Amino acid sequence: MLCYYDIQIVRRNLASYVDIIWIYCPALLLSFSLVLFKQTKLGPKSGPTEKGLSSFCVHIVSLLVRGLSSLSDVASGLKYLQGKRQNKPEMCCVHNVQVNRTGYVELTIFPTVVNLNRIKLNSKQCRIYRVRVNELEAPFIYNDPTLEVCHHESKQRNLNYFSSAYTAAVSAVDPDAGHGELVIKVPPELWKQGDDLKVLKVYIEFSLDQPKGGLHFVVPDVEGSMAERGAHVFSFGYQNSTRFWFPCVDSYSELCTWKLEFTVDASMVAVSCGDLVETIYTHDMRKKTYHYVLPIPTAAPNISLAVGPFEILVDPYMHEVTHFCLPQLLPLLKHSMSYLHEIFEFYEEILTCRYPYSCFKTVFVDEAYVQLSSYASMSIFSTNLLHSATIIDQTPLTRRCLAQALAQQFFDLKQADEWVLKGISGYIYGLYLKKTFGVNEYRHWIKEELDKIVEYELKMGGVLLHPTFTGGKEKDNPTPHLHFSIKHPHTLSWEYFKMFQCKAHLVMRLIENRISMEFMLQVFNKLLSLASTASSQKYQSHMWSQMLLSTHAFLKSISNVSGKDIGPLIKQWVDQSSVVKFFGSFAFNRKRNVLELEIRQDYTSSGTQKYVGPIKVTVQELDGSFNHTLQIEENSLKHDIPCHSKSRRNKKKKIPLMNGEEVDMDLSAMDADSPLLWIRIDPDMSILRKVEFEQADFMWQYQLRYERDVVAQEEAISALEKFPTPASRLALTDILEQEQCFYKVRMQACFCLAKIANSMVSTWQGPPAMKSLFTRMFCCKSCPNIVKTNNFISFQSYFLQKTMPVAMALLRDVHNLCPKDVLNFILDLIKYNDNRKNKFSDNYYRADLIEALTNSLTPAISISNEVRTVDNLNADVRLILEEITRFLNMEKLLPSFRNTITVRCLSAIRQLQRNGHIPSDASLFKSYAEYGHFVDVRVAALEALVDYTRVERSSAELQWLLNMVQNDPAHYVRHKILGMLSKNPPFTKTTDSALCNEALVDQLWKLMNSGTSHDWRLRCDAVNLYYTLFGLTRPSCLPLPELGLVLNLKEKKAVLNPTIKPELEVGPVVDTPASIGIHGVGMCYAFNTMEDEDIDMETVHDSQAFIHQHLHLLERPSTPGTHTHTSACMHARTHAHHLVTHTPVLFVLLGKEPPSVEQSLLSMPATPVPSFSKETSSLASKHAGEHGHHHHHHHHEHKKKKKKHKHKHKHKHKHESKDKEKDRERDNSHAYSNSPASGRSLRSPSMSD
């Protein structure tokens, strides 16, 4: 496959930049040329692990990016230059590469810059061959601090330390702060030109071989050409990740226009952002080039690419919309996309604004990173969203995904303050839900989302929508409760990110509640039209700032349109994290005819905040429903609400409801003295809250029966679980039978009924709960034990039919077993299931029947240590197993949609194992978890494995899972494994386990430190898991520092006496600590090791001052190129060396592990262990806090010196081949040193001096 890109970029100045630069920077021309090459001949580097890639011939020949940009230099003193010079005059060009058949990507940039001598770009994984500015070779530095977060061995393994180091590393290359991995030095000849505001062109040649992130290659291992095999590639990433596949300014706030060219095999289609201008064959007619132009200023993270042998479907309603899917799936695509135009129409109508781009493309790919990802004018979806007309359950899900993707197309792509955009797109998506799926569905969804965010915040602490980082100091951290930083999207855990999105749209809804929907839509319309006006302005890049949506602009727009001040609301929910927790109770005062309501708050526990302001309370009385708005104030708990009704229960009169309906009620259950039927607190969910309200059971029952709001009904159902009485039973049964009731409420009622039945087991009368109901609704009239042949025309009853058996299976008799007749009933349902006359597939129904079987399982009565054999299998279990085996085997012959049956069978088998009916064994799940099964099946198998690992405490399985995390081709699966391990951890920080050992700590540490550098999300997942397993501080399984400490200079830390810890690596363990002379020697060694692992200057982030100084040295060379650099570096090195020789002890004091060293130096006499560890952590955090800011002067200075030391040692290292050899050996033992990223950087041509 050959890709040829020509990207035209017009970049805008960063708002955060100083105004002066801003004015002096006109639009710049920035253009790239990228060429991707496929490796037809497998190089020795492409190991067997990279199976997909090595066999996929990726020829990326040349990629050109051209554009206009106002790339500006941050002229502050934060620039740095590290002595790795990369430009070689005889650098291979395109033709050489073609001849050599090595895979590479090439990128050319032509920028114009003003007063700019350094250009910083983002680039990861790319190997840069040469950079030219205006045809002049330009020196450049490539340094990626996130490759390895902590550079030296830290036996402390402190997550606090890691998180701050990681945040600092991300900050160090943060494009929004003007940083980047790639620093290009503008040749001095051009400085003059730059000062004259003339155009500079930057041209970057780069290659990208076997990328582990950014681009994903799916290459099925079958016969045939790439097109026949359905091989495809697409870009992906968590937040801004475009830097993974070409050098760019990887920021949402840097907008530019684009021209893209992709040369691909003639059988392939390249889909990218913008308008396809033309497609042209290459000269040999075997490839073709796609030319795209994106005239609307767009940020680099919104650029994407998908290449594959796609089938093309032009939307029959909107010819500007084109859909792409993998071969053979066209019929599914046609069906799945048949209603997309309705979503389009809906959004355009409510926003009274046209879709911002001139075309739209949807691409469905396999092994997608996320279900849907939106980019400028295109969206990439998972192919698993496609479905045929026979599938019921997937249809609403797919439609929701499409609606979400489209909502993001309107709003999500112009990023400034993330919460605003996520909020708006989530909000208009909600409006679509309301219109398409109805108000019930919408309110149900809002409640679901609210419950989710409340649960998360109460558990994990607050979610902050709009954090402000004032000083950036540790104590100013707005979210100290989290184990990761929320400063950068790349450090956010996935869960948090999802909750963030969820909260954002809920807050948007709160704003709507305040200012009305009409105004809300007006605001959106205004924002959109401003943006579109701005985008049509050519080259006046300052206009483009209008396209970026900040909180401030949004709020201003709201106050302009509505004239309302929503400041308090924003302050409460946007600037502060956490939710509100209410406890409500009431008493009725008969004398005064007053309802005395008490509302208390819990604002002390984690994730809660105090709420002051209005709250709505709805009281349903005999005379009708009344809304009251109460003020929650600081100290008032009690609120008196006058009642309207006189107690006049004797009159037979209909009772008016909130919606005007009048109903007859049987009032015999209620309290004779009070006219209150039920009370609801905050019925509109206009506060992000959890309400625990106490009212009598009959009131809940009335609420369930007669309140028409689905949220109230659902609340009543969950409250009734606590009241297992015949009256509750009756209320639930009535709801179940009521056809008008929302089906999800009825489904919930099923489960509640099962719980109530179990609580009432000794007094339960009649057949098992729901059985007669099910019989009446779904079984034949003539023979009630046989279910009707399936007819799923009515979806409501379909969902009920699916749910009831699942809930019924949860019933238990007095022996805590599933009643025999329930089990037989379910078995009969399976037996008589007949779908021949049905126009819909019954795969989800059958899957639910399997789930019902699973639910009916109870733990086996085990006689001590008895081995589970076929012979002693329980008779019921035998029947169940029989069914499951048959289902699973049939699935091999007639696979169901998305293999739903297999998925449930696997979890059923795991359930049988866990309950001790069959021997616990992981091999079956392992085979299903292998790459090559459908992803749902894999995830189900992995879930079983994770459970197995926890129950059996199996370290082999844990290793197997972690291996998969490192090696599996599908990113989604890797992410999923870590997520499941965190959710169902084999052990936690509070429990002891044999699994928790040092090797595991090391392994996980390496995984998050360097093993996941190609995928932000995965790294955050690993951090999450580490947190779950070990907590924030030093994992307990690591040996405690004790007496008899020795100083290991190689590890730069004090360790236990080697006799206590024999597994320590060999190294110059100095037995006599604090000997200055030996320190010197040891240091030398240590640095070599370190430098070898880490290609460039380590920890850029914590050495800004040093960098500054270095740059200062480099700043004024009179000649460009090699000499300058070498001499400058030499200079620095000498200087450093000088320092080293004179101040060795100083260095030791400032080593990466100051506490340990200090220990070695200071605590020669026995120090009590506890006090020491305390000191350790406090020092560590102090140290970590320093990274971005140097408030302690002497620390600052120490750092400088330390850096120079390193430099000196590196220098030495270069000449000491002996040491190098040793280091190589060490490298091999290091799990991640061979990762392509670090390995390549080490050996890349640009690095070789």
Instruction: Please give the residues from 764 up to 793 whose contact with other proteins meets the rule CB under 8 A.
Output: 780, 782-783, 786, 793
Which residue in the set 568, 919, 1039, 1044 belongs to the binding site for other proteins (CB under 8 A)?
A: 919
Q: Which is nearer to other proteins, 264 or 731 (CB)?
A: 264
Q: Interface residues for other proteins in 1119-1148 (CB under 8 A)? A: none
Q: Which is nearer to other proteins, 222 or 672 (CB)?
A: 222
The CB-of-292 to other proteins minimum distance in angstroms stands at: 9
Q: Which residue stretch of 99-107, 427-435, 895-903, 1096-1104 sits at the interface with other proteins (rule: CB under 8 A)?
A: 895-903
* CA angle 697–702–707, rounded 5-degree value: 130
Residues with Cβ within 8 Å of residue 494, at least 6 apart in sequence: 238, 975, 979, 1017, 1020, 1021, 1024
93 or 587: CB nearest other proteins: 93
Nearer residue to other proteins within complex by CB, 933 or 1108: 933
Kindly identify the residues of this chain, within the stretch 320-339, that bind other proteins according to CB under 8 A. Answer: 320, 322, 326, 328-329, 331-332, 334-335, 337-338
Rounded Cα–Cα distance for residues 419 and 501 (Å)? 7
Verify binding: residue 319, other proteins, rule CB under 8 A. Answer: yes
Task: Decide whether 232 or 1198 has the Cβ nearer to other proteins.
Answer: 232
Per CB under 8 A, does 932 bind other proteins?
A: yes
Supply the minimum distance, in Å, between the C-beta of residue 246 and other proteins.
Answer: 17
865 is a contact residue toward other proteins (CB under 8 A): no
> Residue 921, interface with other proteins (CB under 8 A)?
yes
Site string for other proteins, 336-355 (x = CB under 8 A): -xx-----------------
DSSP letter string, 230-285: T-EEEE--SSS-GGGTS-B---TT-EEEEEEEEEEETT-EEEESSEEEEEEE-TTS
d(Cα 882, Cα 738) in Å, to the nearest integer? 36
Among 888, 1007, 1046, 1180, binds other proteins (CB under 8 A): 888
**CB distance 699 to 672 below 8 Å:** no
Contact status: 886 vs other proteins (CB under 8 A): yes
- Residues 62/37, Cβ–Cβ less than 8 Å: no
Distance CA 808, CA 750 (A): 8
Helix H or strand E segment including 204: strand 202-207
Least distance from C-beta 265 to other proteins, angstroms?
12
| Nearest partner of 796 among 742, 736, 734, judged by Cα | 742
**Contact characters 460-499, other proteins, x per CB under 8 A:** ----------------------------------------
Return the residue of 15, 75, 91, 276 that touches other proteins, per CB under 8 A. Answer: 276
500: nearest Cα among 569, 454, 453: 453
- Site size for other proteins (CB under 8 A): 96
Q: Read out DSSP for 162-173? A: HHHHHHHHHHHT
**Is 934 an interacting residue with respect to other proteins (CB under 8 A)?**
yes
894 binds other proteins (CB under 8 A): yes
Which residue from 50, 209, 366, 876 is in contact with other proteins, where contact means CB under 8 A?
366
* The two structure tokens encoding residue 1050: 């190689």
- Rg, C-alpha atoms of the chain: 33
Q: Which is nearer to other proteins, 931 or 960 (CB)?
A: 931
| CB neighbour burial string for 634-670, b if at least 16 within 10 angstroms, e if fewer | eeeeebebebebeeebeeeeebbbbeeeeeeeebeeb
Q: How many CA atoms lie within 13 A of 1022 on its CB side?
A: 30
Q: Using CB under 8 A, pick the residue from 192, 459, 815, 892 that binds other proteins.
A: 892
DSSP state of 147: S
β-sheet bridge partners, residue 260: 292
Rounded to whole angstroms, how far apart are CA atoms 959 and 964? Answer: 8
For other proteins, the binding residue among 135, 189, 195, 278 (CB under 8 A) is 278
CA distances from 836 to 795, 831, 833, 1104 (A): 18, 14, 9, 72
Q: What gap in Å lies between CA 610 and CA 38, rounded to an integer?
A: 59
Q: Binder to other proteins among 638, 831, 1138, 1142 (CB under 8 A)?
A: 831
For other proteins, the closer CB: 633 or 834: 834
Closest CA to 620 of 726, 698, 541, 723: 698
User: What 3-state class would DSSP assign to 651?
Assistant: coil
Binding to other proteins in span 285-314, by CB under 8 A: 285, 288, 312, 314
Q: Which structure tokens are listed for 357?
A: 């781009």
780 vs 1060 by CB, closer to other proteins = 780
Taking CB under 8 A as the rule, does residue 879 contact other proteins?
Answer: no
The region of 270-278, 728-736, 852-860, 1187-1195 touching other proteins under the rule CB under 8 A is 270-278
Question: What residues from 937 to 956 belong to the interface with other proteins (CB under 8 A)?
Answer: 937
- Give the integer Cα–Cα distance in Å for 730 and 752: 12
Contact between 1040 and other proteins per CB under 8 A = no
In whole angstroms, the minimum distance from the beta carbon of 458 to other proteins comes to 38
191 vs 281, beta carbon nearer other proteins? 281
Give yes or no for residue 277 binding other proteins (CB under 8 A): yes
- 281 lies in the binding site for other proteins (CB under 8 A): yes
* Residues between 631 and 670 that touch other proteins (CB under 8 A): none
> Smallest gap, in angstroms, from Cβ of residue 708 to other proteins?
25
893 lines the binding site for other proteins (CB under 8 A): yes
Q: x/- string (CB under 8 A) for other proteins, residues 372-411? A: -----------xx-xxxxx---------------------
Q: Restricting to residues 110-169, name those near other proteins by CB under 8 A.
A: none
869 CB neighbour count, 10 Å cutoff: 9
Using CB under 8 A, pick the residue from 100, 279, 1075, 1234 that binds other proteins: 279
| Residue range at the interface with other proteins (CB under 8 A); choices 297-305, 608-616, 723-731, 883-891 | 883-891
CB of 836 to other proteins, least distance (A): 6
Q: Which of 556, 549, 555 is nearest to 534 (CA)?
A: 549
Please give the structure tokens belonging to residue 602. Answer: 């819990």
User: By C-beta, is 913 or 1241 nearer to other proteins?
Assistant: 913
Site stretch for other proteins (CB under 8 A), options 398-406, 685-693, 927-935, 947-955:
927-935
Distances from the Cα of 1244 to the Cα of 85, 104, 1218, 1220, angstroms: 11, 12, 22, 17
**CA proximity to 107, closest of 59, 60, 65:** 65
Q: Measured between alpha carbons, how far is 1127 from 1114 in angstroms, rounded to an integer?
A: 9
Q: How far is 544 from 974, CA to CA, in rounded Å?
A: 39
895 near other proteins, rule: CB under 8 A: yes
List the structure tokens of 243.
């830097």
List the one residue from 533, 927, 967, 1075 that touches other proteins (CB under 8 A): 927
Q: Which is nearer to other proteins, 815 or 892 (CB)?
A: 892
Least CB distance to other proteins at residue 892 (A): 5
Q: Rule CB under 8 A: which of 6-45 touch other proteins? A: 6
Among 135, 834, 1042, 1065, binds other proteins (CB under 8 A): 834
**Which CB sits closer to other proteins, 388 or 532?**
388
The residue among 128 and 829 lying less far from other proteins, judged by its C-beta, is 829
Phi, psi torsion values for 1218, nearest 5 degrees: -60, -50
Closest residue by Cα to residue 403 from 417, 385, 416: 385
Closest CB 911 distance from other proteins, rounded Å:
13
